[in-house]
Structures are given as C-alpha cells and as structure tokens.
Structure 1
Amino acid sequence: MNGLLGTASLLRLVLRRDRIRLTVWVLALVGITAASAAGVASTYDTAVKIASYQRNIGSSPASVAMAGPPVALDTIQGIIVYETSLTVLIGVAIMAAMTAVRHTRAEEEVGRTELLASGVVGRHAGTAAAVIVACATSVVIGLGVTASVAAQDFGTGASLLYGASVAALGIVFAAIATVAAQLMSHARTATGATLAVLGAAFALRAIGDVQGSGLVWLSPIGWSQQVLLFDGDRWWPLAVSLLVAALLLVGAGWLTTRRDVGSGVFPDRRGAARAGRSLSSPLGLAWRLQRGTVIAWAVALVLLGLVFGSFSEQLENMVEDNPTLQQYFEQTGGSVTDAFFGTALLFMGLGAAGFAVASALRLHGEEGAGRVEPMLAGQVSRWRMLLSPLVVTLGGAALLVSLGGLGVGIADALVRGSADQVLRLVALSWVQLPAVLVLVGLAVLLLGWAQRATALAWAALGFAVVIGWLGGLLRLPDWVDGLSPFQHLPQVPVEPVALAPLLALTLLGVGLIALGAVGYRRRDIG
C-alpha cells in the first residue's frame, strides 16, 4: 500500500482540529512583529537616536547574545530586524514543534493513530499531514512578517528575505520535532527534547555571535540570522536550513518503519520494583512528575534575569541620548534603573505564570491518559487529587520569580560593582505572585467546569504577555489593558508596595481555585 495514502484526508482533519490554534499563532506572531517594528521606528526616528542605539546596544555582548549579529544598526531597518527577529524566530520554532508533535506522537499516545491505521491509511500519512501543516503555517507566518516589515520601507527583496528566514526556521524545527516524535514514547518527552534542541541552538548562536566564531553555523537559529539583512542580504544560508530539514524528514520516515505504532525507538525506562516513600502521597507524586519542569524553568528564568540585569547600566546611557526614552521613563515617576527593574520583574512573573499554567493543567493530561481514575479508586479523594499538584504549582512559581529576581540582581551587581539591589529585587519579585495565582485559578476553574475549554487559560496567559510587552505600543483602551491581572500590580520598585490590589488579586485567585475545585469534585472523570 502507498505509504502516503490518505494524506489529503488527514490533512483536512488536522486543519479542522487546529484551525483556531494555528490562527492564533499566526495573528500573534505577525501582530507582535508589526507592532514592534512600528514602535521601534517611532522611537528611533532621528539619526542621533540611531547612532546612540548603535553605540550603546550594538557594542554590548549581552545584547548580541540576546538578539543576534549587530549588523546594519546604522539604519532604522537594521534596528527593527535586531529588535524583532529573535522573538518571531523562537515563536515560529515553538509553533512548528508543538504542531508536529501534537499530530504525531500525541496521536499515537492516546491510540488514535492505531485506530486510523486500521483503515485505508498509509504508514506515513499522519506524519506527512502534520509536517505539511506545520511547514505551511510557518510559511504563512513568514509571509505575514514580510508584509509587516514592508510597511517600514524594507524594500521587496529584504522583506521577502526576512520572511523566508522565519519560515525556514519553522520548517527546520517541524523536522526536528518529527524525528523526536519517532524516538520518544511520549509527546511530553518529544516536545521537551525538541525545546532542548531549541535552547542549545540559542546558546550556540549566542556564543558564536559574541565570539565571532563558527559556532553560529551549528545552530538553526544562526542559519536564519546569517542572511545578514541590509549587510549582504544572503539567501544561501536558507538552503542549509532546507537541506537539513529534508534530511531529517527522510530520517523520520525511515524511523517510522523501524518501530511499532505507539512505541518510540527509545523504550521507556523501567521503573523501580518498589516506590519510594515520597511517592506514597499525591503531593509526592506531583513533585516527582513536575521536578524536571521546575528545574528547566528555573534555569531559563535565571538566565533571563542575568540578561536583563546586564543591561541596567547600558540603558542609562541610551536614555541620556534619546529624548523619547527620557519622556517615557519620566512618566513612570521613578528612576530609569527602577523602571527597568520593574520591567524585568514583570517578565519574571510572566515566565513563572507560563510554568504555573502548564503545571495546573498537567492534571488534565493525566486524566486524558487514564492515570487519574486508578488513583481515585483507592483512598485518594478528589480534593487531594486536585490540590496536591497545586501546592507544587504555586511553590514552583514562588521559587521561579525569586530565582529570576536573583538573576537580575546578581547581573546588576556584577555590572555596577555593588550588590545593594540583590535582596531587594528578590523580595520585590514576590509582588508578581498574586497575578500568577489568578491565572492558575482560571486554569483550575476551566479544569473543573469546562475541561474542553482549558486552552482559554493559555489564551489568557498569551494576552497578559502581549499586554505586558507591547501594551504601550498598541495604545489599547484602559479597560482592555485591565483584563490582564499583571496590569493591576503595583509597579515596583518605581511605586511602593500597595497591599490592596495584591490582596484583591489573591482573593480572586483563591476564589477561582475554590470554584474550580467544586466543579472538579462534581463532574465525571474522563
């Protein structure tokens, strides 16, 4: 039988299932790029401001590590690429990876692939459909990016090259995720492995750009950024991306024929014959399941905090040369450094919220996999089954914001030669927790009363990220901004800690969790 038989039918099925999810990805990444490009263009609108940016940011190793090669920073178009490229590149890579795994390994894990295989469907049809959708969505995002930057006088060639570099990275990570889906036995492991490759690609690119070494050519992110927009406009690095993607997809197809449906090339590791005492309770089990995730997020937020903290002194130099930035920071009512620290702590809170939402919804995945009912059949009550993982979720969130604040403080201390801000930033990072609690409460509410709509918790998180990042550029009405719980937090350290909004958000979060727990206790499991 033709291995691709039925691909068209499965392609329509994938598009139908993911039509909303993929539309959100496209609109979010293209919208962020367009808004960021417009904001950068309005901020650096004179030759003096552009020269200041090139002098202060382009020469910073931390900035190069974070954003990429500092090319063409003497033009507004080069600054736009420098400010926007990494965000959309990371976003399209995550989108492609999650889409590929969702319609390959995740389908096998729940048994739908085996059900489809019993009909007239080729062995490679499901994988082909997933890859086509992931790659096509990457191309659509690339076209959207092309249109976004064309509005900033990029020119046709440069606009198309920018969009193509974005699409190429999405295609590469769709291929990487497809290989991971063949190797691993679980969707969560396959996604984690792909994101680990993404992290390694970022690290190699960062080290290579800072050192000016060939390490960038070991990174798929490096291939996309080495097109060197406005400093050569090279198309040929994208051929490397497409060649590697093609080889990976051929390898994935070969691996598919070398394993059984439902299993990965790498078998599951056999567990111990007896469970340890730490696994004798739902709380211990929740920690065992989540500890790897907590560690990964902790490393990520510490690194992010270090990057933020390393910019503190350079930002002051930039503000001195840019009246637009001076006006912005004067409106905050505090010093430039405090305003910058407030932004850094907000991002630590948003990062912790990302972990917390994923952690709170972990029970939904366990329920879908059929692992909750056996536990409830014993002496574990539904209250303990729901609330024990929440202890890990909230404890992990508190740990993450603390470590993020610590990273900001340590980097600032190394740059300034004074550690007077370290403990202060760690303490102030806890101000973000009530907003995190509200998002966790929303996730639990949906888990208890509308488990089919749990994606709304992710939508709420995405909205909070967009408002926190681009709210000023988007100029949305106050009531729209106010839908994000993070907008109601006191803007520390610029403002003093105000207990009223913190208490209100805490009560709201606890109330949502309580309502969700009632719904979870009453509804059918599974």
Structure 2
Amino acid sequence: MSRFWPLLSARWRRDVLQLTIWIAGAVLLAVSAVVGVRGAFPSETDRATLLATAVANPVVLLFRGLPSGTDEAAFAAFVILPFIALLAALMSTFLAVRHTRGDEDAGRAELIAATPAGRDIPLVATVTHGILANGVLGTLVTLVCLAVGFAGPGSGLMGLASALTGIAFLGLGLVAAQLAASARTANAIGVWAVLLSYLACGLGNALGTPSADLRRMTSAPLAWLSPFGWAENTRPYDSDAAGTLAPFAAAIVIALLLAFALSRARDLGDAFLPSRPGHATASAALSGPIGLVWREARGSLLGWTVGGAIVGVMSTRLASAISDVGDSIPSVQALLRSLASQGSLAQGAIEVFFTLAGVLAACAGIQTVLRARQDEVAGLAEPVRAAGVGPIRWVGAYLMVAVVAVLACLAAAAAGAAVGQLATDASQTDLILHAAVAAVGQAVAALTLVIGATIVVVIRPRLSLPAGWALVGIATVVGLFGPLFGFADTAVDVSPFASAPRLDGEAFDLRGGGWLLTVTVAGLAIALTAARRRELAPER
C-alpha cells in the first residue's frame, strides 16, 4: 500500500483543476435548475402544463429526464438529473483514459511499471481516484439539494445516481483505454459510448407509456439498456426507487474486472485494437501540415457531420408536430419562443434544433483545434516543426481544418433539414430557408468558440483541454437551457449560440452577429500573433 498512496496523490495533484471545473459545473447546474424552476414554473399548474407538453411531444424527452409528477423537487430532477449525470460520465471517461492510455502514450506508465508498483497498482489508484471524484460530485449535488429544502431521500438519490453513472463510465473508459491504441482513440470511444447511451435513454423515454394525467412517463425497455435510464428511473422526490440502481453494481464490477483482465493480457503500449499500418509511401496530401491534420481528424469529423445531419432531419420532420402541440398548449409557445425567436412555432422549433447543431459543430471544431495540444504532448509536433513548418502555419493548419469541420457539420444539418421538410411536405419550403439561415448564424457562433479554444492552445497550452471544453459547455448550458433555468436575457445573450443571427418571422435579425464577428476576427489576430512567439510545450 505504500506504493499506492503516492500514485493516488499524484493523480489528485494532476487533476485538481480539471476536476474542479467538472464538479463545480455540475453543482452550478443543480443550483441554476432549482432557481430556474422556482422562477419560471412557480405553480403546480405551470409544471403540469410543461410535463403534459413533454409527454405529448416525445422530442422533448430526447433532451430531458423522465417525468415523475408535478412536485417542485421532482420537476427539478426531471429538468436537471440527466445533465448532471452526463457531466459525471464525461468527467470519468476522460479521467480513466488520461491516467491509463494517456500515461502510456506519454511514457510515464513504462517508468512506473518498472518500479515495484508494477501494472496493477497504478490501475487501482486510477479506479480509486475516479470513485473518489464521483463521490465528491455526488455528495455536493446532494448537499445542494438539501440546502434548497428538498427532501433527504430524494436528494441522496440525486447525488448517488449521478455518482454511479460516472463510475459506470469510469469502468467503460478503462476498458476503452485497454482496447484502443492511443488516448485519442480511447477518448473517442468513450465519448461516443456516453452520447449513444444518453440517446438510448432519451429514445426509451420518448417511446414510453404516459400516465392518464400526462404527468408521468414509464420508460420503454430501451431506456433500461442505458446507465442514464437506470439513474432517471430512481425518480427522486417521487417514488425514490433506489432499487433501480442495482444494475450499476453489475455493470461497474464487470467493467472493472474486464479492464484489469485486459491490462494483464497485453504488453505495455500494446492494444487489442492496434492502429492500421500506414502505406509504404505518403500521398501528396501529406506533404503539408494541413493534409496531416486532415488525416488525423477526418474520422471524428465524419461522426460530427453525421450527427449534424440527423439533427437537421429531426428539426423539420418534427417541427410540424411541435407546432400542432403548441396550438393546443399555449405554454409550449411561450417555452419555445423564450428559447428562440418570435416567429412561428415551427420556426422556433428549428432554431432550438439548430442551436443543438451549432453545439455539435463547435465540438467538432474545438476537438480539431485541441489536437494541436495532443500532438504536442505526444511528440508528434516536433518533427512537423523541424520540417520547416513555422508556428503560425502549424497552428493555422489545425484552425483551417476546424473551420471545415464546423462548416461541414452545419451544412449537413441544413441539408438534413431540407430532406426532412421535402419528405414531410414538399409544398412548404419556407422552413428550409429558415434552417439555412439558422445554420449560417450558428456557424458564426461555433467559430467564435473555436477561436477562443485556439487562443488557449497558443497562450496557455496546459489548460487547453479543460478550458476548451469548458467554453462549449458553459455556452451550451447558458444558450440552450438558460431560459428554462430563468437566466436573465442579458446573461443568455452572452452565449454565442443564443446571440447568433436568425430569421425573426420573415425579417433577418442580426442579433449579436456583429459582436460575434468582431470577437472572432480579433481573436484570430490574437491567436496568430501569439503563435509567432510560442515555443513547444510537450509536458502535461
């Protein structure tokens, strides 16, 4: 055990900033949700109306929790539990890969394995580290819920469900780290597993059975295949069904046992999914840094683009259904218009969906820019720079591919919206134009965040990963969910996603497009100017 404690302490020291950001984000999200519910839905009638809307319109349940009644605390859990669990899952996946495959890529794992600590003790330290981090997150979420006056059993379930979701994906991240040949691939596997699991839960809720009063929903079997479904079916502050957490025990134990078994079955630095061997000769596209970055990023870019296309198809296919619901439930009109413009309800639905497409595009761009830091840490940037590639050209290559990623994702969303509208009603093409304008506006918003992440990569490279993802995370929460949380308009408009240009009825509304373009251009100048004097910083 004397070898275990130094390794655990080293992990806490390395992760103190990242964990603080993740955990503080989850706590602030919980506080914002409670404040927003009390401000925007103060009466039981208001909450019942929104729950009826969610139950009647399955699209809402794709991005929300499981309706469990009109009690204020239960309603707050419906609004926020999925997102706290999502933060815990992403935090844990990145943590698992960082201290396993990431250490192997950096050469640290080999040095530690050469000591009496061997192969198992570092993995035990990583598991303990992840469990403790999720324990802190769950405890603070519970304390916040208790502090605002919510019942003890439900508050405990809120924290426990969030923590167990994180620990389950900690195990999955550890397995991915054993399978993948690089930390980048392992992180990609983990993130896609989280997103697909979240989507499976949302679809399971959407396909479930509503109660007669439209205040509760019973999940379909699909939701039970997802850790998010297990967490949401605890129904905090309603039935407090702690028994639904039982699948977590089996999933966590199986994942951890599998991770240890795979670790022992492979050589250090090896992988069960090895990288494909390269060609004997490089193509002409790899003669410059842009081609190299494109080669690295094209797989993930394809995934983000497919996601954008799916969101685009959903935006127009479901806009008419949302409009029909809004005609009978006035509160839906107020809700969507608080999230979008003052145009028709169908236009408001498209704006909400394209805000989500903008989030995906920003993620695609930021992930591409952050590859510069990952390549730097892995030692891949040095031979590129040694080949006569200057710092501006080096940074610019990642930035140019990031711009392509943003534009491709939103172009796919616009094309998907056109396909969805033509398949629904080919005679009505006005929503296609609205979707195209929304895509352009969200491109401006996404590029603003990409430039912000680039500045961090250039000026403070060691903060690149946490700061880059924090930018898009904060902008998403404020821009997409700020109105539901009761944020002031001025606070919501700080988010580029909420300030993006759009159509307001039949008129074009520039909104915050002017300041977004100004910030983007100024940020680009700052990034390129700072890049001229930037030295490589390979240490983490």
TM above 0.5, yes or no, is yes
Residues 494, 242 of structure 1: CA spacing in aligned structure 2 closer, same or farther, 3 A cutoff?
A: farther
Q: Is the Cα contact below 8 Å between 1:169 and 1:220 reproduced in 2?
A: yes
- 1:73 aligned residue (62, 66, 69): 69
Contact 2:35 2:486 in 1 (8 A): no
Q: Which residue number corresponds to residue 443 of structure 1? A: 453
> Quick one: distance in 1 between partners of 2:329 and 2:87?
32
In structure 2, the CA distance between the partners of 1:322 and 1:77, relative to structure 1 (3 Å rule), is: farther
Give the structure 1 partner of residue 23 of structure 2. Answer: 26
Does the CA contact (< 8 Å) of 1:205 and 1:215 recur in 2?
A: yes
Distance across 2 between alignment mates of 1:225 and 1:204: 13
CA 1:24–1:379 in structure 2 vs 1: closer, same or farther (change >3 Å)?
closer
Aligned to 1:285: 292
Query: Structure 1 residue 386 and structure 2 residue 395: aligned?
Result: yes
1:294 matched to 2:301? The reply is: yes
Structure 2 distance, partners of 1:11, 1:483, is 39
1:266-277 paired onto structure 2 within 5 Å: 266-277=273-284
2:201 is matched by which residue type in structure 1?
R
Show the 5 A alignment for 1:85-124.
85-124=81-120
Cα deviation, residue 365, structure 1: 1.2
Which position in structure 2 is the counterpart of 1:160? 156
Task: Return closer, same or farther for 1:65/1:352 CA change in 2, 3 Å cut-off.
Answer: closer
Hey, what does 1:346 align to over in structure 2?
A: 355
Asked if the contact 1:320–1:326 (Cα under 8 Å) also holds between the matched residues in 2, the reply is: no
Matched, 1:371 2:367: no
| Percent identical residues | 26
Q: Specify the alignment match of 2:185 in structure 1.
A: 189
Does structure 1 residue 513 correspond to structure 2 residue 524? yes
DSSP-derived class of the 1:260 partner: coil
Q: Tell me which residue corresponds to 1:426.
A: 436
Secondary structure at the aligned position of 1:67 is classed as: coil
Rate the CA distance shift 1:352–1:218 in 2: closer, same or farther, 3 A.
Answer: same
Query: Distance in 2 between the 1:246 and 1:368 partners?
Result: 33
Aligned to 1:141: 137
Bigger mean CA offset, 383-392 vs 409-418: 409-418
Q: Deviations over 1:440-472 (max 9, x none)?
A: 323333333332343434333333223313444
Q: How far apart in 2 are the matches of 1:122 and 1:5?
A: 13
- In structure 2, relative to structure 1, the CA distance for the partners of 1:460 and 1:67 (3 Å cut) is closer
Which of the numbers 239, 255, 263 marks the counterpart of 1:256? 263
Q: Does 1:461 align with 2:468?
A: no
Asked whether the equivalents of residues 65 and 79 of structure 2 are also in contact (C-alpha less than 8 Å), the reply is: no
Report the more deviating stretch, 202-211 or 350-359: 202-211
Residues 56, 325 of structure 2: 8 Å contact kept: no
| Conservation of the 8 A alpha-carbon contact between 1:431 and 1:502 | yes
Residues 176/358 of structure 1: CA separation in 2 closer, same or farther (3 Å cut) = same
Q: Is the 8 A contact 2:406 2:443 kept in 1?
A: yes
Of 307-316 and 419-428, more deviation after overlay is shown by: 307-316
RMSD: 3.2
Deviates more, 1:328-337 or 1:484-493: 328-337
Give a deviation string over 1:270-299, Cα, whole Å, max 9, x none.
222222333333222222211111111123
CA distance 1:521–1:85, shift in 2 (3 Å): same
What is aligned with 1:60? 57
Equivalent residue in structure 2 for 1:174, among 170, 186, 195:
170
Matched, 1:360 2:369: yes
Structure 1 residues 393-412: aligned runs within 5 Å: 393-407=402-416
Shift of 1:243: 2.3
Equivalent residues of 1:53, 1:318 under 8 A apart: no
- Give CA deviations for 1:158-184 in whole Å, capped at 9, x if unaligned: 221222111111111001111111222
Match of residue 513 from structure 2: 502
Instruction: Tell me, in whole angstroms, the C-alpha distance in 1 between the residues paired with 2:50 and 2:442.
Output: 31
Distance of 2:86 and 2:510 partners within structure 1: 37
Aligned pairs for 1:204-283 within 5 A? 204-209=200-205, 210=207, 213-229=220-236, 232-283=239-290
The whole-number CA distance in structure 2 between the counterparts of 1:351 and 1:521 is 30
Decide whether the 8 Å contact of 2:165 with 2:228 is kept in 1. yes
Give the alignment's TM-score, normalised by structure 1. 0.87
Tell me, in whole angstroms, the C-alpha distance in 2 between the residues paired with 1:65 and 1:341: 15
Secondary structure of 1:522's match?
coil
Amino acid at match of 1:510: V
Is 1:185–1:266's contact at 8 Å kept on the other side of the alignment? yes
Is 1:42 the counterpart of 2:39? The answer is yes
Q: Which one-letter code corresponds to 2:4 in the other structure?
A: T
Say which is worse superposed, 469-478 or 397-406, in terms of deviation.
469-478
Equivalent residue letter for 2:359: L
Offset at 1:255? Answer: 2.0
State the distance in 2 between where 1:198 and 1:481 align: 27
Q: Read off the aligned partner of 1:37 and give its amino acid letter.
A: V
Question: Which segment drifts farther, 135-144 or 223-232?
Answer: 223-232
Contact 1:165 1:238 in 2 (8 A): yes
Q: Distance in 2 between matches of 1:51 and 1:525?
A: 56
Distance 2:59 2:335 in 1: 25
Map of 1:314 onto structure 2: 322
Residues 410/143 of structure 1: CA separation in 2 closer, same or farther (3 Å cut): farther
The question of whether the paired residues in 1 share the 8 Å contact of 2:181 and 2:274 is answered with yes
Query: Residues of 2 paired with 1:144 and 1:58: CA distance?
Result: 31
Residues 496 and 360 of structure 1: CA distance in aligned 2, closer, same or farther (over 3 Å): farther
1:13 aligned to 2:10?
yes
How many Å apart are 1:128 and its aligned residue? 1.9
Contact 1:406-1:423 at 8 Å conserved across structures: no
In the TM superposition, residue 335 of structure 1 has moved relative to its aligned partner by 4.3
Structure 1 match to 2:213: none
1:203 Cα offset (Å): 4.1
1:448–1:518 CA contact under 8 A, matched in 2 = no
Deviations, residues 298-344 of structure 1 (Å, cap 9, x unaligned): 23333344555526643674586456974994896544444444343
Shift of 1:356: 1.4
Aligned-pair CA distance for 1:117: 2.9
User: How many corresponding residue pairs?
Assistant: 521
Q: Residues of 2 paired with 1:228 and 1:497: CA distance?
A: 43
